[in-house]
Amino acid sequence: MNRKELIDLIEEGENIHCEFKRHFTTPEKIAREMIAFANTKGGYILMGVDDDGSIIGVESEKSEAEMIKDAATNYCEPKIEYKLNYIVHKGKEIVSVTIPESSNKPHRIQDYEKEFDISKAVVMVRVNDKSMRASKEMVRIMKANAGNKALKKYFIGTIEKTVFEYLAKKEKISVKELSNLVNVSERRASRTLVKMVRANLLVIHLKDNGEEFFTAAV
């Protein structure tokens, strides 16, 4: 990344692909941001930049680089790939962390569990200009996509037909709404909607408050 590309990113402001940080206090906080980008579409963390786009600069590029390396290697499972750039603008140094979208999703905060436990794993994703914890539905979809487990042959049953009828009227549906609509457990409703996403029949979305909903695939 060169200086012009950096300034262009700052002028665009924080979004799904870019996060500004004055500084990080712990490797785990860095890990959460890195995981969110790796689990979504990739992006940039600009260290030494305030939320309003003001360039503050970092005190020590060496200490920031060491903390980033520690976060990516020891606080992310699996570890995160990244690239560092150091750019000086008006005498102030900015550390740019580039995180590509991962092909090894879902990444989680290191919990030292031998196997992935969906009820305990802290999996982060990027939503608009925020990094937040993914729902269990989103995690299941990431795991299925990572294993190339798309459902090519999927039987459309009574519940699925009800989902389409509901979407024709309301445009979106949640796990709780489906559970109440067809009188099944939320667990079964969740599995049904996840399978419909995997079959490319639905698309999952996450609100700013962390709630997810589903819409018909275009």
Q: Where are the domains of the chain?
A: 3-133, 143-216
For residue 102 the two structure tokens come to 């991962």
Please say if the pLDDT value at position 83 is more than 90: yes
* pLDDT tens digits, 22-52: 888 899 999 999 999 999 999 999 999 999 9
- What is the structure's pLDDT at 150? 60
CA dist., res. 120 & res. 108, Å (int)? 10
Report the range of poorest mean pLDDT among 28-32, 42-46, 81-85, 203-207: 203-207
Cβ atoms within 10 Å of 85's Cβ, excluding its own:
15
- What is the structure's pLDDT at 148? 65
- Mean pLDDT rounded to a whole number for the chain: 91
Top CATH class, 3-133: alpha beta
- What is the structure's pLDDT at 182? 95
- What is the structure's pLDDT at 206? 84
Q: Are 85 and 1 in contact (CB under 8 A)?
A: yes
Please say if the pLDDT value at position 154 is more than 90: no
| 40 DSSP assignment | T
Give DSSP secondary structure letters for 25-39. Answer: SSHHHHHHHHHHHHH
- What is the structure's pLDDT at 147? 65
CATH code, 143-216: 1.10.10.10
- What is the structure's pLDDT at 168? 94
Across the chain, the runs of DSSP E, i.e. the strands, are 18-21, 43-47, 76-77, 83-89, 92-99, 108-109, 124-127, 130-133, 202-206, 212-216
**Which of 199, 3, 191 minimizes the C-alpha distance to 86?**
3
Q: pTM here?
A: 0.84
